[in-house]
């Protein structure tokens, strides 16, 4: 019998990622109102690679809901990433709550499992969001000038 150590959720890493994503999203959203979309064009030199699309579904004093997606040259060929992200303004954190129409991710999963989630699926999704937003901040161009923001 093999002794496997159970995965222990790294709450510090998850909270850190969610806090960083909150800051990234606030920079990208600017003063967007509910029902509005900001598209950040992704460029590499003169090549247009698509756009990071941020749609502000709900805006409330304590919680906002953002839909994050991408449109680009592979639309119709590949299923492009789509997320729903909740911003919790009181604790300044942003959490992925829906990815590719799948909802409610647990902090940890036994592995293997029926849906083949990784043991740290929730952390990985939030890290992916962070990398995606960083790419938009670094390589994106929008009508919003991001250079003066913290």
pLDDT, tens only, 100-147? 666 666 655 566 656 555 656 788 889 999 998 998 998 887 654 444
Bridge partner residues of 68 (DSSP): 54, 83
pLDDT of residue 149: 44
pLDDT of residue 100: 64
What is the pLDDT of the chain when averaged over all its residues?
81
């Amino acid at each position: 019998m093999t002794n496997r150590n159970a995965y222990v959720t790294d709450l510090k890493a998850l909270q850190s990622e969610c806090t960083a994503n909150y800051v990234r999203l606030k920079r990208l959203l600017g003063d967007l109102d509910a029902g509005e979309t900001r598209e950040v064009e992704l460029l590499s030199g003169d090549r247009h690679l698509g756009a990071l699309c941020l749609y502000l579904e709900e805006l409330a004093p304590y919680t906002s809901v953002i839909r994050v997606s991408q449109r680009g040259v592979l639309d119709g060929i590949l299923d492009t990433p789509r997320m729903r992200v909740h911003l919790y303004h009181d604790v300044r954190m942003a959490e992925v709550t829906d990815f590719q129409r799948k909802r409610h991710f647990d902090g940890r999963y036994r592995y293997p499992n029926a849906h083949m989630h990784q043991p740290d699926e929730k952390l990985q999704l939030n890290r992916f969001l962070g990398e995606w937003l960083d790419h938009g901040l670094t390589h994106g161009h929008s009508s919003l000038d991001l250079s003066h923001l913290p």
